[in-house]
A and B are shown apart, each in its own frame.
Chain A
Amino acid sequence: MINLVIQVSRYLIIILMALYTLQSYTVFRRTSSRAKEYVFLRQNISMFFIHFIAFAVLFLETMEIQILVFYGAQVIYLAATLVFFRNLYPKASKLLINNMCMLMTIGFIMITRLSYDQSIKQFKIAVAGTILALIIPLIIRKLQVITKMTWAYAFVGIGLLGLVFVAARVTNGAKLALNIGGFSFQASEFVKIVFVFAVAGLLSEARDLRRIVIATGLAAVHVLILVISTDLGSALIFFITYLVMLFVATRNPFLVLAGLLAGAVAAVVAYFRFSHVKVRVEVWLHPFDDYANKGYQICQSLFSIGAGGWLGTGLYQGSPGAIPYAQQDFMFSAITEELGGIFSICLILVCMSCFIMFINIAMKLTNRFYRLVALGLGTTYAMQVFLTVGGGMKMIPLTGVTLPLVSYGGSSVLSTLIMFAIVQGLYMLRRDEEEKDDEKRFKEFQQNQGPRDPSGFGNPGGQY
């Protein structure tokens, strides 16, 4: 019986995930807000079903009561997140909230499967992060001063990275973290956000050469510290994010081309100058040459994806734990092994849906600072997904970054939740503006139409 349940669950999870993904895109076709609301609710139903089925399998496989308790806690958390966001911020983007919850659900399932203890840790941080995320939109709306603190951001960003570089201990030979009270603090995850704010502040006020030089210098310092700290993934994310923001702010393609050229030169220099860069590239080109040592991780990742195929092995039927640091850096491969390639393609598309929402919001913002912030955050998100997914599949060299909201890692989850909340805050600002415009138009309309209104026809504006 258990076997039958597990077999059927594989297919059900894939179907539900495909349905959810499809709805993330078809929802834009609906015009009435009620129809949209209905689609969003159906997405939630899919999500809770996937969550339920997956945890049923996890329970059947382990027969541990604590899994059931944990499942209950997660359901309450997910439901509360959805309810609170919707009620506190009725103007928030529901698609983005749904996607956020969906990605965390996938993360909870897979981390619980890989390590129950880590999943508990992750859950606690997610709860704390969500509470924080619930306040952020409010701050964005009320505190205009955040647009004026450019130098504070720059100072905090470089200070944190510098501090990490000087004082940090090396973990896993590559990534640098600060240890604060037993909590390993991955500074670069947070500096990403602060960096975007700093660059937005610099580039939104004026576009003269002096500003551009200062902004470029600031970006260069960030990137350099990261490269020296051997955190190549973050360095690349910062670099590309800066170029995108520069392009949007100046609309000057030559600057971006020059930047890309400089980046290419720097990459070549780094390849010959730093052995860890060279090693990454060589492992990417010939992973099996040094299978037992340097190539081991990426080879295991490929074996995982290969073992999964289209449909996956089913939860607990594969061995994704064979990839070193699967929970952090190879979540995508682990998911592909047990939940299947089709599921993973859907996962990529859900991430893309998040990105499109980020950009969609950015494009409609009129305030240059907010607009650059939304764009910058969208770019860091897209780059991070690209580096970890592409790296795990050996499409590009491995850089060891997390899959936002899905991978295990307190700093990663926390910073991504903050990032999503900031974008939600910006989305609401935009809708506030729209509303103000509407009211203004309505008042003008009333003033113009008012005197000529025949009495007894009521208020024509009532239909708004």
Chain B
Amino acid sequence: MTYVFAFMFLLMAGYLIYFNVVKRDEINANANNTKQDSQSDKIIRGSIVTDDGTVLASTSVNSDGTETRTYPYENVFAHVVGYASNGKAGLEAAANYDLMTSHSSLLNQIKNGENNEKIKGDNVVVTLNPVIQQAAYYALGSYKGAVVVMEPDSGKILAMVSKPDFNPNTISEEWETMVSDDTNSSLLNRAAQGLYPPGSTFKILTTLAYLQQNNDIYSGFSFDCTGSLTQNDVTITCYNGNVHGAEDLKTAFAHSCNTAFANIGLNLDNGAFRKLAEKFLFNNSLPTSLTHSDSVFKLDKDTSYGEVMTTAIGQGDTLVTPLHMALITSTVANGGIMMTPYYVERIETYDGDVVSETRPSAYKELMSTQEAGILTDFMKETVNSGTGTALSYSGYSVAGKTGSAEYETNGVTGTHSWFVGFSNVDDPDIVVAVIAEDGGTGSQTAVPIAKAIFDAYYNAGY
């Protein structure tokens, strides 16, 4: 009996150790945690900088002792870097603890304390690339929407743009108008929190479901597209009434043939399809501390044929975030292994000593190398002869998939323009995911935006 209780005491001590070793960072980084704010009379908030030293956010102390947080790039990094007043958002919220903590030497701290000087908090070095971020920002232009650019083999996020945006320098003044305006929702980071119908970009997963349910053999697939497919009362048509004629799986994919994919959907095992989607993190949280929405996939084994057909072509009830689409595309580009996405490269003291560093880590192998190879081949075909031809004849190779996601909200209909893809197909460099709200077809709007980003990347000599 005595031992049971003695064990209980040791368990408490052990749990406190466990808490400090395992859970502490997560608790300190919690968005609701304002503990570090009480440090503001001792610590000057650290800077947010990129790997090449570009400052994205920094605090300067005015002559009267007040502090100003400045964002030199104004609107360009608005959502991903966030803001530190009026509540906190983005990286300013996620890395709040690090920015308000100083790991500079004890000697420095005491010296500063002696002179009644504040200590500079740690700097957060991000993986974001100013060249690509700006290219993406300007390429998206005046469209509402989002762009995510990442490195498929490491999971590094190189750019994350969301529009409409705001200027973090003047957020306090514009706060009231922004919060009361619900048509633009400029504060929302659409890249990670915007839920969109994936449209035809979802055919990547429909194709994968087909492959997995047919032992990766697709040579037997043939379909004669007449421009529409009717099952009882439900009719699926190809975009713009196009008739694609006889096609195999590859050409159906490249031409984004809706009727062929609706037909595939009817022959799929819905339960297995849902399992696959959930394995790819639909209805689940993405492996990142970045504030994001969970994508939605509703199909199950009892779903009616109409819903099955629309789901297979990326319409129906399916919703996805641009970040999630970028991750799925990265998985294809990375030979089937999804890397854990990250945007904090490392934490440094203000004088440059490394406090902690993020290492790339694999989240999971989600498909075989062979399946990734087939999908890459299909996506390459899409660029070479299908809906993404605007991207061929560049100095680099691209594999991708377009999407024209039709939506209806409150009786208003429209089409969002999607593109997901990666460049340098044999050894992929970057993945780009673009959505332009009301941009029409993928080829019309999203593809040129993606091209501008790829161009900027290669023109910069990366």
Q: Which of A244, A302, A359, A390 contacts B27 (CB 8 A)?
A: A302
Q: Does B246 contact A (CB under 8 A)?
A: no
What is the 8 Å Cβ interface bit string for chain B, positions 86-109, against chain A (1 contact, 0 not)?
A: 000000000000000000001001
Complex alpha-carbon distance, A248 and B5, angstroms = 14
The reply to whether A393 and B15 contact each other, CB–CB distance below 8 Å, is yes
CB contact list, A244-261 vs B, under 8 A: 244, 247-248
What is the 8 Å Cβ interface bit string for chain B, positions 10-24, against chain A (1 contact, 0 not)?
A: 111101110110011
Q: Enumerate chain A residues within 8 angstroms of B13, measured Cβ to Cβ.
A: 345, 348-349
The reply to whether B30 and A303 contact each other, CB–CB distance below 8 Å, is yes
Q: Does B72 contact A (CB under 8 A)?
A: no
CB contact list, A286-319 vs B, under 8 A: 288, 291, 299, 302-307, 309-310, 318-319
Q: Does A16 contact B (CB under 8 A)?
A: no
Q: Does A455 contact B (CB under 8 A)?
A: no
Complex alpha-carbon distance, A356 and B1, angstroms = 11
Give the interface size class of chain B. 20 to 34
CB contact list, A369-390 vs B, under 8 A: 378-379, 382, 385-386, 389-390
Q: Does B28 contact A (CB under 8 A)?
A: yes
Q: B414 CB to closest chain A CB, in angstroms?
A: 35
The reply to whether B35 and A349 contact each other, CB–CB distance below 8 Å, is no
The reply to whether A318 and B35 contact each other, CB–CB distance below 8 Å, is yes
Stretch at the interface among A1-9, A30-38, A144-152: A1-9
Interface secondary structure of A, over-half rule? helix
Complex alpha-carbon distance, A126 and B244, angstroms = 89
Interface secondary structure of B, over-half rule? helix
The reply to whether A359 and B114 contact each other, CB–CB distance below 8 Å, is no
| Tally of contacts, chain A with chain B, CB under 8 A | 97
The reply to whether A386 and B8 contact each other, CB–CB distance below 8 Å, is yes
Q: Enumerate chain A residues within 8 angstroms of B114, measured Cβ to Cβ.
A: 1, 3-4
The reply to whether B12 and A291 contact each other, CB–CB distance below 8 Å, is no
Q: Does B38 contact A (CB under 8 A)?
A: yes
Known A-B contacts A306-B24, A345-B17, A393-B12; the reply to A379 vs B110 at CB < 8 A is: no
Q: A57 CB to closest chain B CB, in angstroms?
A: 14
Q: B17 CB to closest chain A CB, in angstroms?
A: 7
Q: Does A102 contact B (CB under 8 A)?
A: no
What is the 8 Å Cβ interface bit string for chain B, positions 104-137, against chain A (1 contact, 0 not)?
A: 0010011001100000000000000000000000
Complex alpha-carbon distance, A140 and B27, angstroms = 49
The reply to whether A341 and B16 contact each other, CB–CB distance below 8 Å, is yes
Complex alpha-carbon distance, A299 and B23, angstroms = 13
Q: Enumerate chain A residues within 8 angstroms of B10, measured Cβ to Cβ.
A: 352
Q: A159 CB to closest chain B CB, in angstroms?
A: 30
Complex alpha-carbon distance, A378 and B106, angstroms = 43
Q: Enumerate chain B residues within 8 angstroms of A351, measured Cβ to Cβ.
A: 9
Known A-B contacts A7-B106, A303-B33; the reply to A390 vs B20 at CB < 8 A is: no
Known A-B contacts A247-B1, A309-B20; the reply to A288 vs B9 at CB < 8 A is: no
Known A-B contacts A3-B113, A247-B1, A379-B5; the reply to A389 vs B33 at CB < 8 A is: no
Q: Does B412 contact A (CB under 8 A)?
A: no
The reply to whether A336 and B16 contact each other, CB–CB distance below 8 Å, is yes
The reply to whether B8 and A382 contact each other, CB–CB distance below 8 Å, is yes
The reply to whether A393 and B16 contact each other, CB–CB distance below 8 Å, is yes
Q: Which of A248, A307, A390 contacts B15 (CB 8 A)?
A: A390
Chain A residue at minimum C-beta to C-beta distance from B9: A352
Q: Which of B20, B30, B109 contacts A310 (CB 8 A)?
A: B20
Known A-B contacts A3-B114, A4-B114; the reply to A352 vs B6 at CB < 8 A is: yes
The reply to whether A382 and B5 contact each other, CB–CB distance below 8 Å, is yes
Q: Enumerate chain A residues within 8 angstroms of B1, measured Cβ to Cβ.
A: 244, 247-248
User: Can you list 19 A-B contacts with CB-CB less than 8 angstroms, sorted by A residue number?
Assistant: A299-B30, A302-B27, A303-B32, A304-B35, A305-B16, A318-B35, A318-B38, A322-B34, A345-B16, A348-B16, A349-B13, A352-B9, A355-B5, A355-B9, A356-B6, A378-B5, A382-B8, A390-B12, A395-B12
In the complex, besides A306-B33, A341-B19, 7 extra interface pairs with C-beta distance below 8 angstroms are A303-B32, A319-B35, A341-B16, A379-B5, A390-B15, A393-B15, A393-B19
